[in-house]
Amino acid sequence: MLRIYVCCLLLFLVQSAMAQQTLRGIVLDSTGKHLLHGVSVSLPELKKTTITDSTGRFLFQLHTSELKQKIRFSYTGLANKDSMIQLPAKGEITIHITMNNQTHPLADVIVVAASKTNSRIEDLPTRVEVIGTEEIEEETQINPGNMLGLLGDVAGIQVQQTNAATGNADLRIQGLPGRYTQILRDGMPLFAGYSGSFGLLQIPPLDLKQVELIKGASSTLYGGGAIAGMMNLVSKTPKRNQPENSFIINRTSLFENNLNVFSSARNNNMGYTLFAGGNLQQAVDVYNNGFSTVPNVKSIFVHPRMFIYNNPNSTFILGYTLNAEDRKGGDMQVLDGKTNVTHQFFIQNKSLRNTIDADWENNLNNGAHLSIKATTSLYNREVLTNLFGMKAQQNLWYSELAYTKKSDHHNWIAGLNFNGDAFMKQQPDSTLLTNENGYTIGAYVQDDWKITPALTAEAGLRADHHSVYGNFLLPRISFMYRFNPQLTMRLGGGMGYKTPSLFSGDVDERDYRYIAGYKPGTIAEKSTGVNFDVNYKWRGDEWQFTLNQSFFYTAIQHPLLLDSMTNPFNMRWFNAAQNITTAGFETYLQAREEETELYLGYVYTNTQRNYDAQSQHFPLIAKHKIAGLASFEIADQFRIGLELSYTGKQYLEDGSSTRDYILSAAMLNYRFKKISIVLNCENLFNFKQGNYGQLVYPPYSNPVFSDIWGPLEGRVFNLSVQVKW
């Protein structure tokens, strides 16, 4: 018996040794010259996984009768690669694999205006954040009327309502007021000056492809105004032989109605995109105090673009934008047409914007690119109150010539631009405002130099001449060091400036009549900013994780203030003696897997107005903000989104502080073929600032409003339907 057992054991060991299979391999980049360390290699059917060593090699010892196997390679920053291999019945096999330099779709983002070079986001020494098509499409059904909901979810950005009657809102990046952010549409300036804080309230997101964000000093490429950062709204472009048509209808519990339509198509020589939409919002008195919490709004937005493709290397784009809005808030009886001696207060803004833009892009030989852009915008706005009225228009124009050249180690860009604006009152009116105009001629150059495969340096310089405020020299330098494909570090800093403007988004329209211009000697604001971040990405077989830690600091010299104390009936802008500084950090962790996304982020912001010794904390900036998000599918046709955020205490103008609060939201999306239905609820816990203090103070014929530090509307539901074909 013992002999039989020994013989069987020996026979089994010999058979096992003979049946053992060895799979070896080497993984290289797309050039075939560089070995890739840390590549995840898996055999899904056998549930075996390993990673390549420092020489790019991997090894499997196998025992299987299934000789045909799928092998998967995944590497952060490169596309996954699946291959079928034939294992030997016994013995050894060696394979060589190259991985393409195309990024994974979740990270394959081409940045249009943030670099002006159509570069991959991973290759830029300047940190750029992108809100992609998927996020925009989801937010479009939640808030199709404007972009505020989309931007409010971005860490480091705070959407701050500035007027309780008209619903004006200010976009603050890293704790700085909205006037320090440069807003572009397809690489060209869109809003400024007299448009105040209405800009982002009037941009529907349906025809946007992506939104690019740079937080911190970025004036070298974009000129004055990009002190806090830059935001570029990238419009959709038509796809060859892939027509796109859709419409959205939406209704909210606050009696807002939206109807938006988008269409695009292209053949070999021509293409078009067309957006048309309208919003109708009824005035709502949430607190039953006799004043509108939500204004009455009627608006339309039309944005057609034509694309001409002369040859595969040349594209000409011609666009037009029409935006008309009538926004009115105040005493509910006045809004209902029942004005009397007691009920008189209202603020109404009627605005009309006509914009024409043109863009010619031409790819030259040897990686060179030439572009010419130009836009002109005519903006008319009529301000009406029960105390006074005024009409004015502002003309804006911008043109740019840019040349880029890419090589193995350098990415050059050089450009010239000419832009200006003219503000003109229409008589008669009851204001002290004077006409204002100016222009800027600028030149810039920048190079992204790949010093080593791991280290890239970016150096740029802009020289501007303003017709009123003189010359400005704006250097910028950034470094990116890639420790490995998963871990990247960026460090950068630069200078900026902002020329004075008569208008600011946080000034009440009733005060326009008392603005008399500038005090003698008023100069442009100047800034210095530094940003640092570390980004770590890694992939498993199914999940992709991103961990980012960033720090920021910006100082603004000669900040512009409106003197409303010396003579409140003759107010003038002047430069403060001390700086505004903002400093802080952002931390976030993001995880994605197919249709599932998880996000958790924290932002600390400390913004100081050093010119005010009694109350140095900049008002209405939360020091602590925490946000969490979960989005996932529960079935093939259902998708759920959940959000939870915490906003810490904020300081008010008088130095007192507010309470903190928690907000949450939930979304259910049902998709069936070409139809998508969304039921969404914002502010599930129904937190309202008005429950914690008085919002309106007498005299009620010309009331005083509290600082707005939290949501006013409370819980809001919306139901939208989108159809694509």
pLDDT score, position 15? 45
State whether 645 and 717 are in the same domain: yes
Residue that finishes a domain, picked among 99, 126, 154: 99
- Kindly indicate the confidence band of residue 6, based on its pLDDT and cuts at 50, 70 and 90: very low
SS3 717: strand
Nearest to 392 by CA among 331, 435, 438: 435
pLDDT score, position 199? 67
- Mean pLDDT along residues 200-214: 85
pLDDT score, position 219? 79
pLDDT score, position 338? 93
CA distance 402 to 444: 9
- Mean pLDDT along residues 486-509: 91
CA distance 30 to 7: 52
State whether 93 and 166 are in the same domain: no
Percent of the chain beyond pLDDT 90? 61
User: For 358-405, what is each residue's pLDDT tens digit?
Assistant: 999 998 888 789 999 999 999 999 999 999 999 999 999 999 999 999
Residue 105, domain member (yes or no): no
Domain count across the chain: 2
State whether 228 and 83 are in the same domain: no
User: Do the Cβ atoms of 359 and 372 come closer than 8 Å?
Assistant: yes
State whether 172 and 59 are in the same domain: no
User: Do the Cβ atoms of 367 and 117 come closer than 8 Å?
Assistant: no
- Mean pLDDT along residues 401-410: 90
- Mean pLDDT along residues 120-129: 85
State whether 512 and 532 are in the same domain: yes
- Kindly indicate the confidence band of residue 684, based on its pLDDT and cuts at 50, 70 and 90: very high
- Mean pLDDT along residues 593-617: 92
User: For 38-64, what is each residue's pLDDT tens digit?
Assistant: 788 888 888 888 888 878 899 998 888
- Kindly indicate the confidence band of residue 649, based on its pLDDT and cuts at 50, 70 and 90: very high
pLDDT score, position 115? 66
Residue 509, domain member (yes or no): yes
Q: What pTM was computed for the model? A: 0.83
Please give the residue that has the higher pLDDT: either 155 or 337.
337
CA distance 83 to 44: 11
State whether 259 and 150 are in the same domain: yes
Residue type, 188: M
Residue 9, domain member (yes or no): no
Alpha-carbon distance values, 180 to 198, 477, 526, 555 (Å): 15, 20, 11, 12
Nearest to 319 by CA among 295, 289, 277, 354: 354
609, β-bridge pairs: 580
Alpha-carbon distance values, 598 to 588, 593, 632, 640 (Å): 11, 9, 9, 12
pLDDT greater than 80 at residue 191: no
State whether 177 and 95 are in the same domain: no
User: Do the Cβ atoms of 583 and 553 come closer than 8 Å?
Assistant: yes
Residue 133, domain member (yes or no): yes
SS3 620: coil
Nearest to 127 by CA among 210, 187, 214: 214
pLDDT score, position 287? 95
Can you give the CATH number for the domain in which 44 is found? 2.60.40.1120
- Mean pLDDT along residues 663-668: 96
User: Do the Cβ atoms of 639 and 628 come closer than 8 Å?
Assistant: no
Residue 13, domain member (yes or no): no
State whether 349 and 247 are in the same domain: yes
Residue that finishes a domain, picked among 70, 99, 128: 99
Residue 699, domain member (yes or no): yes
- Kindly indicate the confidence band of residue 121, based on its pLDDT and cuts at 50, 70 and 90: confident
Residue 440, domain member (yes or no): no
Please give the residue that has the higher pLDDT: either 148 or 407.
407
State whether 63 and 183 are in the same domain: no
The whole domain housing 452 covers 110-428+445-724
- Kindly indicate the confidence band of residue 455, based on its pLDDT and cuts at 50, 70 and 90: very high
State whether 56 and 185 are in the same domain: no
pLDDT greater than 90 at residue 498: yes
pLDDT greater than 70 at residue 253: yes
pLDDT score, position 198? 65
Please give the residue that has the higher pLDDT: either 127 or 591.
591
Query: CA neighbours within 13 Å on the CB side: how many for 677?
Result: 5
State whether 30 and 175 are in the same domain: no
Residue that finishes a domain, picked among 46, 77, 99: 99
State whether 192 and 148 are in the same domain: yes
Percent of the chain beyond pLDDT 70? 94
SS3 139: helix
CA distance 19 to 63: 6
User: For 518-561, what is each residue's pLDDT tens digit?
Assistant: 999 999 999 999 999 999 998 877 789 999 999 999 999 999 99
pLDDT greater than 60 at residue 459: yes
Mean pLDDT, the chain, whole residue set: 89
Residue 223, domain member (yes or no): yes
Can you give the CATH number for the domain in which 406 is found? 2.40.170.20
- Mean pLDDT along residues 27-31: 82
DSSP-assigned states of every residue in 311-354: ETTEEEEEEEEEEEEEEEEEBHHHHTT---SS---EEEEEEEEE
Please give the residue that has the higher pLDDT: either 67 or 686.
686
Residue type, 560: L
Q: What number of other Cβ atoms are within 10 A of residue 183's Cβ? A: 20
Q: What number of other Cβ atoms are within 10 A of residue 316's Cβ? A: 15
User: For 420-450, what is each residue's pLDDT tens digit?
Assistant: 999 999 988 889 999 999 999 999 999 999 9
CA distance 424 to 657: 40
pLDDT score, position 114? 62
166, β-bridge pairs: none
